[in-house]
Structure 1
Amino acid sequence: MTGPAQANDVSFQVLSFDQLDGWDNDNHGKALSVFLNTCRDMKDPDWRAVCSYASTDPEPKQFFELFFRPVLIEDENDALFTGYFEPELEGDLYPSARYRYPVYKLPPEALESNPWLTRREILESDVMSGRGLEIAYVDDPVELFFLQIQGSGRIRLPNGASIRVGYRGANGHPYRSIGVELVRRGVYDAHQVSAEVIKNWVRRNPAEGRELLFHNPSYVFFREVSKVPADKGPLGAMNRSVTPMRTVAVDPSFVKLGSPVWVEKDGENPLRKLMIAQDTGSAIKGAQRADVFFGTGDAAGRAAGKLRDPGRMVVLMPIQRAYALLPESAI
């Protein structure tokens, strides 16, 4: 583990499985199946050994308890769980009066210069024009903005077909929440803000809404990933399909991608579930920051948009790796 997880304000505590609230009641078999989707891509020897045994069809709960130890990683930030989903947009491969907002591929100069142009500079100039960087065109700039936040989605075409797009890169500017900005301006209280509330406000206030979207200087570029079967989830940061309510996006500075994580969250819809850290996000920063994948479409979007709760995330690590994090005096 590298990066901020080595800072002095980060603490590690090895727990026992009986300290995980609800551990015995989860469906560990489903978690094991999702773990197998990505564990083969983990290259460290200890993870490869664990993955090799996982592929022999062990009893799931015993497998996790035998090969892992739960580790609580905490930094100075409070725990926060949010949700994300795969949106579906209306679009076409060609521009028209209805479909006039491009979904762009990554321009080479955005890779070479970090940061590159801001959202405003990209959209208020002709820097993207005439270069063949358009994957498709959609009918709603607000939905396109939220597609960039989610990082992947499906675009339904007029002929009934659809294409799938996934995250390819960004312009290098930090993500700034427009929901937080609306609260700062006094438009809403924090508990009132959701994706649907923000979308409706932007549409009711088109001029101010356009400026609000520019408050977030980050701009995301996509690639087409239509090879992913329609019944599978979008590709996550490990380039494998993510799974509704079993995949979680994390900060890889603290949590190794592919790791099982135990989620304890209260609020309106409590969660006690073993998930797999298979994704990341520009807004997901911190040891106890996590984003739960809810699935595809409007219903998943509404459910994901409501989630903003505290809780606790515990990372399952191979045994030697877990104890290596502790000072000698604690072992």
Structure 2
Amino acid sequence: MKAPRRIAARLCSATILLASVLLTGCAVQNARPGAAPASTYAKADWNALPAVSDTDLKAGFAAWRSACPRLKGDAAWAPLCVAAGHVDATPAAIRAFLQNSLDVYALRAAGNRTEGLITGYYEPIYAGSLTRTARATVPVYGVPADMVSVQLDSVYPELKGKRLRGRVEGRVLKPYDDAARIAAHGVNAPILAWLTDPMDLQFLQIQGSGRVQLDDGRHLRLAYADQNGHPYRPIGRWLVEQGELAKDAVSMDAIRAWASAHPTRVPELLASNPSYVFFAKGADGDEGPRGSLNVPLTAGYSVAVDRSVVPLGSLLWLSTTRPDGAALVRPVAAQDTGGAITGEVRADLFWGTGDAAGALAGHMKQSGRLWLLWPKGVALPSPGGG
């Protein structure tokens, strides 16, 4: 399961928690040396790519091209986006364009490993209310009025994309409240909606976006707005450490079942993850939620990546399997990020909205391979560059 983009956003890859004067938690864990490991991008041939169907080729290309309005200022992708606007929407024309415009690089992890972890996420729909009721008692908060966010690369360029979040007390900037304190004492922020189950709120935060189904049938869309600056720690890992679940048995369904069977321990479970996500009202409509690139995600063809390895807006070739073991090979667009999405051969596939998508996302923990399709004549990204 994924920690939201937008923790995802998304979190370790975008956030630093300051304790005293030290960088701690996920910021240190995700730090990468400035020199690019030789094995990260291994030049490959187009013929080395596993075959995809014409349908997947067209859908993957369309998903990537949907982000072109956001890539107008991107030196690597802007020229290619202009050219892509003139490509006929036929498999033959798309193949020719891609092969003439892009080089292929196999992504490899430490030890020259080509296999990595492919997971899934989705946009959930949870029952709730715009006002507190006897059933809907769990608040969904907007961004707190007293939370300060500092963009650190304005002073330290090497910390590009890193932010510090906290609260000013006197003349001191201190870390913002963790999830346990927020749950117990609330926060100085607008309440956007009320949910009926604290586990729904946790999974909403993990996914990074979602919808609240109101009694009158309408949906309120919620999008990631900010995060409290604390590192994301998977609640499934806590259950494993407590001996409550086996490692290979962890899934959203298993976690929910445990919570239902142990309602008095749910606060303890949720407190094991100090991260807390704040939301904003999203735009109405049937398009997918917006990812870190601020474009609607395409079900089955948008992925969250580690942006220190794969720049947002890139086109990838993915080879993995569905949870049922069926092959899944297709081009996908790197349009999102996630706190749990770190590493060279790592991606989180967006499955769509609702329970069916959630069932796929909740059981998606597959081995897979990735190839970066990179514009010809453009220098490769430097791993760790943010």
TM-score, length-scaled by structure 2: 0.78
Q: Could you tell me which residue of structure 2 aligns to residue 16 of structure 1?
A: 45
Could you give the per-residue CA deviations for residues 240-282 of structure 1, whole angstroms, max 9, x where no partner exists?
1101100001111111111111111146232111110111112
Give 2:80's match in structure 1, choosing from 18, 26, 50: 50
Q: Could you tell me which residue of structure 1 aligns to residue 133 of structure 2?
A: 96
Counterpart-to-counterpart distance in 2, 1:315 and 1:302:
28
SS at match of 2:256: helix
1:123 equivalent in alignment to 2:192:
no
SS at match of 1:292: strand
Q: How far off its partner does 1:125 sit?
A: 1.6
**Gaps spanning 5+ residues in structure 1: where?**
327-331
Counterpart-to-counterpart distance in 1, 2:331 and 2:146:
40
Moved more, 181-190 or 253-262: 181-190
Where do 1:137-176 residues align within 5 Å? 137-176=194-233
Q: Could you tell me which residue of structure 1 aligns to residue 349 of structure 2?
A: 292
Q: 1:159 to 1:26 in 2, by over 3 A?
A: closer
Check the 8 A contact 2:102/2:373 in 1, yes or no.
yes
Q: How far off its partner does 1:111 sit?
A: 3.3
Counterpart-to-counterpart distance in 2, 1:182 and 1:123:
20
Give 2:63's match in structure 1, choosing from 34, 40, 48: 34
Give 2:291's match in structure 1, choosing from 236, 242, 264: 236
Counterpart-to-counterpart distance in 1, 2:108 and 2:35:
11
Counterpart-to-counterpart distance in 1, 2:45 and 2:199:
46
Q: Could you tell me which residue of structure 2 aligns to residue 329 of structure 1?
A: none
Counterpart-to-counterpart distance in 2, 1:5 and 1:19:
30
Query: In the comparison of the two structures, how many residue pairs are matched?
Result: 319
Check the 8 A contact 1:195/1:305 in 2, yes or no.
yes
Counterpart-to-counterpart distance in 1, 2:318 and 2:210:
25
Check the 8 A contact 2:309/2:381 in 1, yes or no.
no
Check the 8 A contact 2:40/2:344 in 1, yes or no.
no
**Gaps spanning 5+ residues in structure 2: where?**
1-30, 150-164, 167-174
Check the 8 A contact 1:12/1:325 in 2, yes or no.
no
Q: Could you tell me which residue of structure 2 aligns to residue 205 of structure 1?
A: 262
Check the 8 A contact 1:248/1:290 in 2, yes or no.
yes
Moved more, 233-242 or 56-65: 56-65
Q: 1:7 to 1:149 in 2, by over 3 A?
A: farther
SS at match of 1:310: strand
Moved more, 47-56 or 314-323: 314-323
Check the 8 A contact 2:304/2:349 in 1, yes or no.
yes
Could you give the per-residue CA deviations for residues 96-145 of structure 1, whole angstroms, max 9, x where no partner exists?
111111111011433333442110111112433xx5x1011111110110
Q: Could you tell me which residue of structure 1 aligns to residue 23 of structure 2?
A: none
Counterpart-to-counterpart distance in 1, 2:184 and 2:380:
53
Check the 8 A contact 1:5/1:254 in 2, yes or no.
no
Which has the larger share of helix?
A: 1
Which has the larger share of strand?
A: 2
SS at match of 2:146: helix
Q: Could you tell me which residue of structure 2 aligns to residue 71 of structure 1?
A: 105
SS at match of 2:255: helix
Q: 1:265 to 1:164 in 2, by over 3 A?
A: same
Q: Could you tell me which residue of structure 2 aligns to residue 61 of structure 1?
A: 95
Q: Could you tell me which residue of structure 2 aligns to residue 310 of structure 1?
A: 367
Counterpart-to-counterpart distance in 2, 1:271 and 1:23:
9
Counterpart-to-counterpart distance in 1, 2:362 and 2:178:
26
Taking only the aligned residue pairs, the percentage that are identical comes to: 35
